[in-house]
Amino acid sequence: MLIRRLKGWELPEREATPEALMFNRRAVLAGGLAAGAIASPLLSRSAWADTAGLYPAKRNAAFTIASGPTPEADNTNYNNFYEYGTSKHVAAAAEALKPDPWTVSFDGLVDTPRKVAFEDLVKALGLEERLYRHRCVEGWAMTVPWTGFPLKALVDYAKPQSGAKYVQFETFMDPKMAPGQKSFFYPWPYLEGVSMAEATNDLAFMVTGAYGKPLPKVMGAPLRLALPWKYGFKSIKSISRISFVAERPKTFWAQLNADEYGFWANVNPAVPHPRWSQSSEAVLGTNDRQPTQLFNGYAAQVASLYDGLKGESLYM
Ligand code: MTE
């Protein structure tokens, strides 16, 4: 059985959120991005920095929210990126991530397994901006202007075979670059998955940027997932491998504790986490409390995905 160790998101919200406002590394991050953008014409194999000229992308008006985005500084100073430590303040540590060059492997049940350069993926699939809500299982919530392309477009690009039932995503594995991966407690690499029906839903989004710029390292450069109707741990960062599989993926957190961090992990105010209520959430930045919404406010778009799965643990 597992040794109980307090994970970051097990902190009571009242203890955790105010810390987000105590640090501001925005200047450091902005400096880093600007340097990358200036250097990019000189770096022939620089995938992430070379895409800087594609931002900001046009906002897709179908995916917007009246409340407006969480300030960038609050977002980039309160993160979960266990590859760089279990603290919320991992932005400085995550600067060790090297997104240039970056490749993404496609394998499993696909017609042609291949490895694609990140910039070629972006060129092939194009970019748009969407404003999405994000709800962490710990009880905090934010709104982010993500840039990227629909996961559905990536599925079409990969050409999966009919036997594929799930899409499995893996983060890079490089303990030298990500010291957190030296910890034997966690089943590295970080791994996540969705059903094919979820992957091809309009809301599922592959993210390459945020706030009109390439994705900061701490937010999972150069490529992450956004599944706004699910708890945030499904939104895997720094993806380097995408596999089409017949069996349900054994996800990172479910391997550690499936009763608390299950495969489906859909947001539901009526289903408490085994150790805390999910009925309300704290807004990142202000710490105001607001009611949690079923499927994080996206029930109209996604509830029907689960019609045939009533016996499953859909909300944890
Ligand atoms: N992906 C990787 N590779 N490693 C992580 O630790 N944390 C997850 C998710 N994706 C995580 C990850 C969790 S718990 C959340 S809430 C979101 O990333 C946080 O994203 P943010 O730091 O951009 O807010």
Distance CA 246, CA 262 (A): 18
pLDDT given for residue 170 in this prediction:
98
Least confident of 145-149, 205-209, 273-277, 308-312: 308-312
Q: What is the mean pLDDT of residues 144-152?
A: 98
pLDDT given for residue 67 in this prediction:
82
Using an 8 Å Cβ cutoff, are 146 and 213 in contact?
no
pLDDT given for residue 46 in this prediction:
55
Q: Closest Cα to residue 219, out of 4, 25, 38? A: 25
- Taking each helix axis from N to C end, the angle separating 151-158 and 118-125, rounded to the nearest 10 degrees, works out to 110
Q: What is the mean pLDDT of residues 255-280?
A: 97
Residue recorded with tokens 């100073």: 77
- Check if 83 has its Cβ closer than 6 Å to any atom of ligand 1: yes
Q: Which of 235, 239, 284 to mutate to test the pocket of ligand 1 (most atoms within 8 A of CB)?
A: 235
pLDDT tens for 1-40 read 233 343 333 333 333 322 232 222 222 223 333 333 323 3
Rounded distance from Cα 298 to ligand 1 centre (Å): 20
The pTM of the full predicted model, rounded to 2 decimals, is: 0.87
Residues 6 or more apart from 256 whose CB is under 8 A from it? 2, 186, 187
Domains along the sequence of the chain with CATH = 49-303 (3.90.420.10)
**Ligand 1, closest atom to CA 225?**
10
Percentage of the chain modeled with pLDDT above 90 = 82
Cα dihedral sign, 154-168-70-271: positive
- Check if 233 has its Cβ closer than 6 Å to any atom of ligand 1: yes
Using an 8 Å Cβ cutoff, are 75 and 87 in contact?
no
CA atoms within 13 A on the CB side of 301: 18
Distance CA 101, CA 45 (A): 6
